[in-house]
Amino acid sequence: MALVGRHVSIAGGLDLAYDRSVALDATAMQIFVTNPRGWSMSALSDEAVEAFRRKGRQTKIATIAHMPYLPNIASSNSESFKKSVASLIENMERCKRLDIGYLVTHMGSHMDQGKEKGLANVARAVREALDNVDDVSILLENEAGHKNSVGDRIEDLAAVADEVDGKRLGFCLDTCHLFASGYDIGKHEVLDEMFGKLDIKKVKAIHLNDAMKDLGSNLDRHANIGYGYIGNDRFRSFLKYGEIASKIVVLETPVDLEISEEDELTLAKSLFPK
């Protein structure tokens, strides 16, 4: 059975994310395990953890977490780097308590220091975090290619994979970001080239998002499935490639904009190979 769901809110309590996913008939989900727009982490009670784990066992939904937005693990500023690694470790510890095996993080911005430096910082951050917390894997997400970004080329992801050995480094591919950075994901020859550089087995999750702008725009603007420039034919072709359809697939699309959340998830499921 395909593992498909969407990013859902944790408003009112972490465990409510499972109720929201069940209501959507989802088999996968993504959540933030802390405030996505701040540095601070409110305490997580043992009761909240237990409630979350219980619903996880009951529903068997495949769950991944996403890092908050402020940390920048590509930073060459030692203070901001330290703070970012500390946040990565804290988020991993929280995932471990919650029984979440995968934490998605962006690779960040090199802030005019050059991509090579940025990539070295990312590798250092990942190594340090993996040394500090066991059981949880880090999934590096590809970027759309805004100025100074690290991770917009598949080569960037492969470079970190070369630097960090270990089973707990994986990748999350965002279709909107791939398309925005110029990868036509409907073409299998493009995918052949991508996965010639990055081991497809290391890709554990897919962010299935349509794009509000055309191929190569470098803009990170998610559209509802089928309502953007990627379109359903390209998604069908992408999902048919290799083992892509067996990954954890999560939508991060606008809520109830062009289509209801329920209908969008049904549509996304229908794009999988039969």
Contact window for Zn ion (CB under 5 A) among 87-95, 127-135, 142-150, 201-209 = 201-209
Question: What is the closest distance, in whole angstroms, from the C-beta atom of residue 32 to Zn ion in the complex?
Answer: 10
Contact window for Zn ion (CB under 5 A) among 79-87, 92-100, 171-179, 239-247 = 171-179
Q: Please state the φ and ψ torsions of residue 203, each to the nearest 5 degrees.
A: -85, 115
Within 13 Å and on the Cβ side, how many CA atoms surround 251?
Answer: 30
Nearer to Zn ion, 174 or 264 (CB): 174
Contact window for Zn ion (CB under 5 A) among 40-48, 158-166, 174-182, 211-219 = 174-182
Q: What is the contact mask toward Zn ion in residues 115 to 154, using x (rule: CB under 5 A)?
A: --------------------------x-------------
Is the torsion defined by CA of 34, 36, 111, 156 positive or negative? positive
Within 13 Å and on the Cβ side, how many CA atoms surround 132?
Answer: 17
Nearer to Zn ion, 93 or 143 (CB): 143
Which residue's entry shows tokens 């784990």? 53
Among 7, 127, 204, 207, binds Zn ion (CB under 5 A): 207
Nearer to Zn ion, 55 or 87 (CB): 87
Contact 184, 153 (CB under 8 A): no
Contact 161, 130 (CB under 8 A): no
Question: What is the closest distance, in whole angstroms, from the C-beta atom of residue 141 to Zn ion in the complex?
Answer: 5
Tell me how crowded residue 273 is: count the other CB atoms within 10 A of its CB: 11
Contact 145, 181 (CB under 8 A): yes
Question: What is the closest distance, in whole angstroms, from the C-beta atom of residue 47 to Zn ion in the complex?
Answer: 29
Question: What is the closest distance, in whole angstroms, from the C-beta atom of residue 143 to Zn ion in the complex?
Answer: 9
Among 152, 174, 210, 220, binds Zn ion (CB under 5 A): 174
Q: How far apart are CA 185 and CA 192, in angstroms?
A: 10
Q: Tell me which residues in 37-56 interact with Zn ion (CB under 5 A).
A: none
Contact window for Zn ion (CB under 5 A) among 77-85, 125-133, 150-158, 172-180 = 172-180
Question: What is the closest distance, in whole angstroms, from the C-beta atom of residue 24 to Zn ion in the complex?
Answer: 18
Question: What is the closest distance, in whole angstroms, from the C-beta atom of residue 30 to Zn ion in the complex?
Answer: 9
Structure tokens at 158: 């492969």
Q: Catalytic residue positions? A: 37, 66, 69, 106, 141, 174, 177, 207, 220, 222, 252
How many residues of this chain bind Zn ion (CB under 5 A)? 3
Q: Coil, strand or helix: which one is 159?
A: helix
Nearer to Zn ion, 55 or 249 (CB): 249
Q: How far apart are CA 141 and CA 151, in angstroms?
A: 7
Which residue's entry shows tokens 């070295």? 120
Nearer to Zn ion, 55 or 209 (CB): 209
Contact 198, 158 (CB under 8 A): yes
Q: Tell me the residue length of the chain.
A: 274
Sequence-separated (6 or more) residues with CB below 8 Å from residue 125: 73, 81, 84, 85, 88
Residues that bind Zn ion (CB under 5 A): 141, 174, 207
